Structure 1
Amino acid sequence: MTVIPWTPSETAPGEHQILQLHFLGQEHATLSGEVMKLRRRFCEILVILATNPCGVTSSKLGMELYGEWSESQNQALEIHRLSKLVPIQSRPYRVTLRLKADFLDVQNLLMQGRLAEAVDLYQGELLPFSDAPAVSDYREYLHESVRSAVLGSQDLDLVWKFATRFPEDLEIWEHLQKVIPVQDLRLGMVRAKIKVLTRRLQVS
């Protein structure tokens, strides 16, 4: 999957406004500092538009939103409703104001090698209850990107932070056991967690 970081145009309409998306483990957005109430479908559309800053065609948006069973009528209605809250141009569909998103920020921090900052910002998976194909794909891509970087890190605090944020990931806890000093009192907790997760996997 190719993801293009958002680079706002200097002449983009509505550039004085900023749409800020906080979709990692939550569904929260603000427009120029004002909290917006967005339905999940609106959030999903905004993820697709945010990860395609050059725009998406109607057919591509439908596939990324609904998958094989694209519903063009429902899609057009959703876009129409969302456009009353957020300026969206058509042909192709794209957001016409400045857009910032925590999920794009995490990606960019990883690309810059700033793992500690990326982990700090990565508070949870992207729209965890969404089943839109594009959101599911990006959620998996971003999570595995952060997770793989953490598994390659020897930074105890960083690995600990990720492990406690995603407590069901056995491989992360096993990596934590490797980097934590023997004299660290938390080692017993780590071993206990590994034992519980291993037993659970054996039962399932």
Structure 2
Amino acid sequence: MDLLGRAIHDPRTGRLLGAIDITGGDHLANPHSLALVLATARAAEAFLATLPGPRAAGASLSALGRDAAVLSAGGRSLPLSRRHSEIVALLCAHPEGLTGDQLAIELYGDDLVNPVTLRAELSRLRHALGPLLLSRPYRLRDAVHSDFAEIAEHLGRGDVTAALRTYRGPLLPRSDAPGVVRLRRLIEGQLRAGVRASADPALLAAWTEASWGAEDLWMWEALAAVLPAGSPRQALALERVARLSEEYAPPDATWLQRRRH
């Protein structure tokens, strides 16, 4: 009696789950039977990889105010390279997925890049993420909560205070990937507009005191407008407005043009 078998492992953890086997007479000992067992086992593992698992469940991405993002899942934190940070952030922003061409444009813009370069990056990323990264199109298998998406959620509910509290700085600030740059500007622009529209001195002060808002003339003007007239804080804000206006004005601007700037 012959037995042909092949073990089945959890595609996420590598843990042995069971086996596919065929037991019978001598006629089973042939290449066709072995190929059938192997194909069946691989199909089972491929199906298991599509199921939600503990490693992907509750995954979150932290990418605000840092040059390299951190992916947290299943109680583990995975620091990502700068390029992988850009890819995962873009896939979080496009849950429907991106084709290889679309992803290349988001990462490299109009620069001519060998498709092999992108495929190599995605291969390395898949090795790090396992079944969380799917292809055709490229997408994340389960919803990954990102800190930058949380900003939009707070603003959608009109909670500007919570949005500003969540904001730890620009999205991947050193990234020059076109898709990331657009997303960064969108997030910052929405939050900035929300803080200014609130006319809340505390929120405006928090923005202008932060490293990313210290040179923001538009927000300093808004802060000066809502502070009590003649107060020391307003005087400081007005002084900052005057200094920034001077710095941002063209060198050959007239006095009137500087005032209008």
TMscore range, shorter length: 0.7 to 0.9
| Matches of 2:184 and 2:77, distance apart in 1 | 24
Q: C-alpha offsets along residues 89-119 of structure 1, whole Å, 9 cap, x if unaligned?
A: 1111111244111101101111221111111
Match of 1:155 among 182, 193, 200: 200
Is 1:13 the counterpart of 2:28? The answer is no
| Matches of 2:51 and 2:175, distance apart in 1 | 30
Is 1:170 the counterpart of 2:217? The answer is yes
Report the more deviating stretch, 170-179 or 160-169: 160-169
| Matches of 1:30 and 1:68, distance apart in 2 | 29
The percent identity for this pair of structures is: 31
| Paired residue type of 2:61 | L
Q: Counterpart of 2:59 in 1: which secondary structure?
A: strand
Conserved in 2, the CA contact under 8 Å of 1:15 and 1:97? no
Aligned residues between the structures: 194
| Paired residue type of 1:28 | A
| Matches of 1:196 and 1:102, distance apart in 2 | 34
Where structure 2 has 5 or more consecutive residues not aligned to the other structure, the ranges are: 1-49, 252-261
Match of 2:237 among 179, 190, 203: 190
| Matches of 2:101 and 2:232, distance apart in 1 | 56
Report the more deviating stretch, 15-24 or 191-200: 15-24
Q: Which residue of 2 aligns with 1:56?
A: 98
1:15 to 1:182, Cα distance in 2 relative to 1, 3 A: farther
Conserved in 2, the CA contact under 8 Å of 1:49 and 1:95? yes
Q: CA offset at residue 196 of structure 1?
A: 1.8
| Matches of 2:91 and 2:242, distance apart in 1 | 43
Task: Specify the structure having the higher radius of gyration (Cα).
Answer: 2
RCO greater where, 1 or 2, for CA within 8 Å and sep 6 or more? 1
Is 1:24 the counterpart of 2:71? The answer is no
Q: Which residue of 1 aligns with 2:46?
A: none
| Matches of 1:184 and 1:16, distance apart in 2 | 54
Q: Which residue of 2 aligns with 1:82?
A: 125
1:202 to 1:54, Cα distance in 2 relative to 1, 3 A: closer
| Paired residue type of 1:179 | V
Calculate the TM-score normalised by the size of structure 1.
0.87
Q: CA offset at residue 121 of structure 1?
A: 1.0
Is 1:202 the counterpart of 2:255? The answer is no
Q: CA offset at residue 141 of structure 1?
A: 1.0
The 5 A counterparts of 1:35-114 are 35-69=77-111, 70-86=113-129, 87-114=132-159
Q: CA offset at residue 201 of structure 1?
A: 1.5
Calculate the TM-score normalised by the size of structure 2.
0.69
Is 1:181 the counterpart of 2:228? The answer is yes
Conserved in 1, the CA contact under 8 Å of 2:224 and 2:238? yes
Is 1:140 the counterpart of 2:188? The answer is no
Q: Counterpart of 1:130 in 2: which secondary structure?
A: coil
